[in-house]
Structure 1
Amino acid sequence: MSDFIVREYAFISIAYEGCPKSTIEHAYISEKAFEHLCELSASFSKHGAKVFELAGRKKLKLDQHVGVIETPCGTRIEILPKHVDMKEGDEQQIIQQERRLLQNMLSVSLHLPYREVGAADLSQFKQPLHEWIITQFLKCFERLVQCGLRFDYNRVQEDQKFLRGQLQHAQYMRQPPAKKHIFPIEHDVYEVNRPENRLIKTALEIVCKKTKHASNWKLAQELRLMTGEIPKSLNVKQDFKQWQSGRLLVQYTEIKPWTELILGEYMPVSTQGDWRGMSLLFPMEKLFEHYVAHFLKKTQNEWEIYTQHSTEHMCLQGSKSMFRLRPDIFMKRVSSEGEALKVADTKWKLLDSNDSSGRYGLKDSDIQQMFAYSAFYLNHAHEVLMIYPAKGDVFNQPLQDFHFKYGASTLRILPFDLNMKPKCEKGQLFMRWVLSYRTC
């Protein structure tokens, strides 16, 4: 099995004799693996998702999706965010920083119960993304086994030579005289076979096959032996629907998202019937949106934060509302001074505050979108915000405010440092930028 590590917008080409060494900006893979990626690209395109872009007959260019792709021939490609500049360290240091960023963003966006335990946990950032997910799953499963798996009563129908439970009289009366000594009975068995355990066992079987990390493999095999009586799930979707919650199953809360991650195999579109391996793909725009929203919620209590707020439409056709507007973040605060509103949109794109053209890399369509939010959600009476990732000296301060010619609304462009903590100086400064309220 060959493993490759690349970043967003990297190129993937077919390897040839004498080809350069693969880097995080350009990987050279086998022809079979490349053909599989081309098939995936065509499948995604049919459903309107753009993950790969053909850049020639033997070259693909990645888009803004990150994660892991595994091909039938055993090639595994790990795609990391493109945020750290190549000048900021050697390739291994950059990979470690990007992995840590992606793991933090996934933990927030997917509500994963991930907890760092200290300096010893830093070694996990050297692991590929799928091994990190496997590590967290196995740790949760180990704790669950130590606390005790939950049993349940299951109804069993069988034929026995003794009476137990309830006799099925109608079935017994229809039996021939030669089988009168056999009793068709129905009774409950208290056993470990329940939907939650079946799903976890199915995920464990996948982990045993996929992991290449020595400690993960050892722990997976130990858990496999300890849970040998649990059957695998025959219908994953149905068992997930039957996954229960409550006081008696509180110990299962922690492991559920990791199980969903392994069994759900996150992909941009459904590819049922096709090979997917342990493939996990996530759009960076969504991860960044959830990461910023989580930061805002965690840092202050005065404002109510809503994500993907969608109460307004642009048009009416008769009495039917059409063309819904859906800002990334909607903020609301009610106080004695009145109601304050803000709309914020997150963009996973690098701006350049030193751009001589004065456009800084902003798109016309994005500005038009913010104008529509200002009109329909704020009545041109409050500020609208656009939040971009900060980048060294290129973009680390808010741009000069923009004022829409129609109405009195103001557009503010803010940088978000992905490494800042809520209580640190940078975090407090960012919140002052966001929450400094001015009636337009």
Structure 2
Amino acid sequence: MADFTVREYAFISIAYEGCPDSSLNHAYIPEKAFEHLCELSASFSKHGAKVFELAGRRKLKLDQYVGVIETPCGTRIEILPKHVEIDTDDEESVRRKERNLLQSMLSVSLHLSSREVGVASLNCFKNQPLNEWIITQFLASFERLVQRGLRFDYNRVQEEQKFLRGQLQHVKYMRQPAAKKHIFPIEHDVYEVNRPENRLIRAALEVVCKKTKDASNWKLAQELRLMTNEIPKSLNVKQDFKNWLSVRLLAHYKDIKPWTELILGEKMPVSTQGDWRGMSLLFPMEKLFENYVAYHLRLNLIRWNVKTQISSQHICLYEEKPIFRLRPDIHIQHRETNQIIVLDTKWKLINQNDRAGRFGLKDSDIQQMFAYSHYYLKHSSQVILIYPQVTTQFDNKLEFKFNVESGEALLRVIPFHLDEPKKVLDYLLD
């Protein structure tokens, strides 16, 4: 079946005879795949996730979720972030840039090592769809793991043999009929490769062998499958992930764990309901953008402590107990002066020239920042809203004063250049 690539807020319609070619802003997919998306939309809505919006009987509109969806009929839909205007670049160039951005954001959100996040690694796979890129990263990590050596573990085995080994189970032996007195029920430990981490990796490899459409990925997956044929597949994925050890002896398993979680669906922010899951991976752009900004702030603000999602303040008391937490996205504090700045990230386009429309800023966002300023800073420092810089409509900071007595109570709205993250420092610390 065909693969489709679209962007946030794109439309998805049922293909019909003579329909236009699919593009980044509008895809025409088979009817069976469209019906599956409608079922997913109803499932997501029950769990409070708005991934699709019905725009008629034969059309869906995407929301702020990116990733890949695979339907039972084999159709794959890749959803990319929308941060490049097609007017300025051809569609293939836009697809490449946005795929590269999504891979970078995903690498940051998965807390991968610098080797995995490196530019060379990303450039190597920038032309691959997201699902194939994930498979490539998983197989590369698995190959390195096999080269370094898989970890073995002792497992308790109970069996019957004609010889003694380990511990004899006396009660069972005494109850045996006379004809079986030459058979010994024994219990002993076997040093083998059957351990939770290896079982999960093997289960993920089986999924990869079935799902990959890339020839080089398929070849490597089959080679690894033969090399690790003695490893049993995990029969209880959730329990095995709970038993995954993060100890020094398993340090070289660290790189492969996030890819294994993604492939087996354990790290999927939006889970599909029912028997069919395929290799569907959906991520909220709001969260990816927050993680991406926080990562680059930690990387460049050497003299500042950068924390995310702190919740030390509450907006109300109920029976003298705090309730309704205030949870800013990012909290930074200078290590020498102890100056504090509270930041929130918003994945939304605003226009610095639209004075009549209040620049596209929402009342609820401004009220939220005022609460942060009051409870976390006592109006003694600034709070900052960070929006993506996608077009020239927002390439400079906006500055507001809160209507309070303190003159230091400032709200600044600054752009974050997605392709040049260091530029944010020019607006943040000036």
Q: TM-score, normalised by structure 1?
A: 0.94
Measured after TM superposition, the shift of residue 334 of structure 1 is: 4.5
Match of 2:353 in 1: 354
Q: Secondary structure of the residue that 1:86 maps to in structure 2?
A: coil
User: Counterpart of 1:306 in structure 2: which amino acid?
Assistant: K
Q: Within 2, Cα distance between the matches of 1:284 and 1:311?
A: 25
What is the CA distance between 1:266 and its match in structure 2? 4.6
What's the secondary structure of 2:87's corresponding residue?
helix
**1:147 is matched with which residue?**
148
Pick closer, same or farther for the CA change 1:67–1:121 going to 2, 3 Å. Answer: closer
- Identity over aligned pairs, percent: 69
User: After the TM superposition, which residues 77-156 of structure 1 pair with which residues of structure 2 at under 5 Å, given as runs?
Assistant: 77-113=77-113, 115=116, 122-156=123-157
State whether residues 47 and 269 of structure 1, in contact with CA within 8 Å, keep that contact through their aligned partners in structure 2.
no
2:380 maps to: 381
In 1, the alpha carbon distance for the partners of 2:93 and 2:343 equals 33
Partners of 2:30 and 2:248 in 1: CA distance: 51
Q: TM-score, normalised by structure 2?
A: 0.96
Is the 1:389–1:417 Cα contact (8 Å) retained in structure 2? Answer: yes
Partner of 1:424: none
Contact 2:153 2:192 in 1 (8 A): yes
State the alpha-carbon separation in 2 of the partners of residues 78 and 270 from structure 1: 16
- Give me the whole-angstrom Cα distance separating, in 1, the residues matched to 2:174 and 2:209: 49
In structure 2, give the amino acid aligned to 1:430. V
Match of 1:283 in 2: 284
Aligned partner of 1:166 in structure 2 is 167
Q: Partner residue of 2:227?
A: 226
CA distance in 2, matches of 1:372, 1:56: 40
Q: Letter of the aligned partner of 1:365 in structure 2?
A: S
Distance change >3 Å, CA 264–CA 99, structure 1 → 2: same
Aligned to 2:10: 10
Letter in 2 for 1:388: Y
| Residue in 1 that maps onto 2:274 | 273
Gaps of 5+ in 1: 422-426
The alignment covers a number of residue pairs equal to: 427
Partner of 1:404: 402
Give distance in 2, aligned partners of 1:186 and 1:120: 48
Distance 2:278 2:80 in 1: 19
The reply on whether 1:370 has 2:364 as its aligned counterpart is no
Contact 1:112 1:258 in 2 (8 A): no
> In the alignment, is the contact (CA less than 8 A) between 1:308 and 1:326 conserved in 2?
yes
Structure 1 SS opposite 2:341 = strand
- Distance between the aligned counterparts of 2:341 and 2:104, measured in 1? 26
Partner in structure 2 of residue 75 of structure 1: 75
In the TM superposition, residue 152 of structure 1 has moved relative to its aligned partner by: 1.1
1:74 maps to a residue whose letter is G
Q: Any stretches of 5+ residues in structure 2 without a counterpart?
A: none
Query: In structure 1, the residue corresponding to 2:298 is in which secondary structure?
Result: helix
Separation (CA, whole Å) in 1 of partners of 2:79 and 2:418: 18
Contact 1:266–1:281 under 8 Å retained in 2: no
| Aligned counterparts of 1:377 and 1:116: Cα–Cα separation in 2 | 34
Matched residues in 2 for 1:220 and 1:180: separation?
48
Deviation for aligned residue 1:272: 4.6
In the alignment, structure 1 residue 55 sits paired with structure 2 residue 55: yes
1:394 Cα deviation after fit: 1.7
Q: Which residue of 1 aligns with 2:27?
A: 27
In the alignment, is the contact (CA less than 8 A) between 1:14 and 1:28 conserved in 2? yes
* Structure 1, 33-42 or 357-366: larger mean CA deviation: 357-366
Cα offset for 1:246?
2.2
Which residue does 2:425 correspond to in 1?
A: 431
The code of the aligned residue for 2:175 comes to: R
Per-residue Cα deviation, 1:111-140 (whole angstroms, up to 9, x for no partner)? 133536776863411110000000011111
CA contact (8 A) 2:68 2:281 kept: yes
Work out whether residues 265 and 271 of structure 2, in 8 Å CA contact, stay in contact via their aligned partners in 1: no
Q: CA RMSD in A?
A: 1.6
What is the Cα deviation at residue 18 of structure 1? 1.2
Inter-partner Cα distance in structure 1 for 2:284 and 2:190: 45
Q: Which residue of 2 aligns with 1:305?
A: 306
What are the equivalent positions in structure 2 for 1:161-240 lying under 5 Å apart?
Answer: 161-240=162-241
**AA partner of residue 226 (structure 2):** L
Distance 1:198 1:35 in 2: 35
**Maintained 8 Å contact 1:155/1:189:** yes
Query: Structure 1 stretch 112-121 or stretch 33-42: which is displaced more?
Result: 112-121
Q: Are the equivalent residues in 2 in contact too, given 1:265–1:278 (CA < 8 A)?
A: no
**Over residues 224-254 of structure 1, what are the superposed CA-to-partner deviations in whole Å (9 max), with x where a residue is unaligned?**
0100111100001111111112222121111
Q: Aligned AA for 1:214?
A: A
Give the counterpart letter for 1:331 in structure 2: I
SS of equivalent residue, structure 1 residue 339: coil
